[in-house]
Amino acid sequence: MTAGVLRLRYKNLQAFKCHLRDIISTSKDTEKARVSLGFNCKTSVGTKFYTCTDFTEDQRIDDLMGIMAGGTETTAHSLLSCLYYLKKYPNTLQKLKEELHKEGFRKDVDYEKQYTVENIQNCSYLNCIVKETFRRDASVPDTFDYCSIEDTEICGVPIAKGIKVKLDLVSNHFADDQWLEPLEFVPERHDIESDFYKKSRDAGKIQNSYSRRIFSHGRRNCAGQSLANMEMKVIIAYLVTHMEFTFDKKDLETEGIGFGIASQFNPKITVTKL
């Protein structure tokens, strides 16, 4: 990542924080307003959150941004990435269409009856495609800052009180010792019965619990990962069976394109009903 991109990301981040502060300072979230809307509560969750004195204003802003971005922006970027790769690799798209048709996902079906958790989970290739999208083009490259509340040491590295650290979420997605052809988009790498998976194992490429970090790990992992996975699968299933989408030919032929947050790429996508 170039210095110019880092400066742009920092500038955008500060501008976003500034707008959030303006929104909060002009909020009409008052007890009177809540009563007029039929809510029987003196203080909203939002008000409690922002006026909490256990954290600094910057910490509250960072958390608010995490809630907003984590629930909307990440899925939107991942959906764009998934559609892009499906169009870039027509054989993958055709294989997905065949699976969806076999599992009953068609234009003429009752949407509410067909799009159940059980039916979506039966689409194993769809699941592989979503996993590969998350691996190949992570929506965020790293976590928000963690601030050390006291002097500590992690794996022999001293970390002083007040120091901010981040977790890298991307590098392991391309580790040569864990992935065969890591720069390629290959959903079959997540299918234990596929030839590619067997080829990967024969080459000694073995993943571990940290091979895919898109949702982080442990106590601080993403609370919305199950929802995010299901959102991706439902929306992709619907778009593939109901819409035709096209990308600019130049974008499809360019290698190394990614659509994560703060990406420099501005893809041209056209979506029409089938």
Question: Can you give the pLDDT at residue 1?
Answer: 55
Q: Report the pLDDT value the prediction gives residue 183, as an integer from 0 to 100.
A: 94
Q: What is the DSSP letter of 143?
A: P
Residue 164, domain CATH: 1.10.630.10
- Both 263 and 141 in one domain: the answer is yes
**Same domain as 165, residue 113:** yes
In this prediction, residue 91 carries a pLDDT of 97
- Tokens representing 176? 């040569």
Same domain, 37 and 4: yes
Residue 222 among known ligand-binding residues: yes
In terms of domains, do 91 and 128 share one?
yes
CA 135 to chain centre: 10
pTM of the model: 0.76
Among candidate residues 54, 71, 95, the one where a domain is terminated: 54
91 and 214: one domain?
Answer: yes
pLDDT of 234: 95
- Residue 142 main-chain phi, psi, to 5 deg: -155, 175
- Cβ 169 vs Cβ 216: under 8 Å: yes
* pLDDT at residue 204, rounded to an integer: 94
Q: Which residues of 211-247 are buried (b: 16+ CB within 10 A; e: fewer)?
A: ebbbbbeeeeebeeeeebbebbbbbbbbbbbeeeeeb
The answer to whether the CB of 235 falls within 8 A of the CB of 133 is no
Q: What is the pLDDT of residues 65-95, one digit of tens each?
A: 777 766 677 888 899 999 999 999 999 999 9
Split into its structural domains, the chain has a count of: 2
Do 40 and 82 lie in one domain? The reply is no
Cβ within 8 Å of residue 44, ≥6 positions away: 29, 34
Considering the domain architecture, whether residues 170 and 123 belong to the same structural domain is answered as yes
Decide: 214 and 220 in contact? Cβ < 8 Å.
Answer: no
Instruction: Report the distance separating Cα 250 and Cα 228, nearest Å.
Output: 30
* Structure confidence at residue 228 (pLDDT): 87
Query: Which ranges of the chain have pLDDT less than 50?
Result: none
Residues 218 and 242 in one domain: yes
Q: Which domain holds residue 46?
A: 1-54
Residues 39 and 158 in one domain: no
Q: Rounded distance, CA 244 to CA 224, Å? A: 29
Kindly state whether residues 48 and 59 are assigned to the same domain. Answer: no
Burial 79-101 (b: 16+ CB within 10 A, else e): bbbbbbbbbbbeebbebbeebbe
Same domain as 106, residue 18? no
Q: What is the pLDDT of residue 69?
A: 67
pLDDT at 70: 67
The predicted pLDDT at position 47 comes to 76
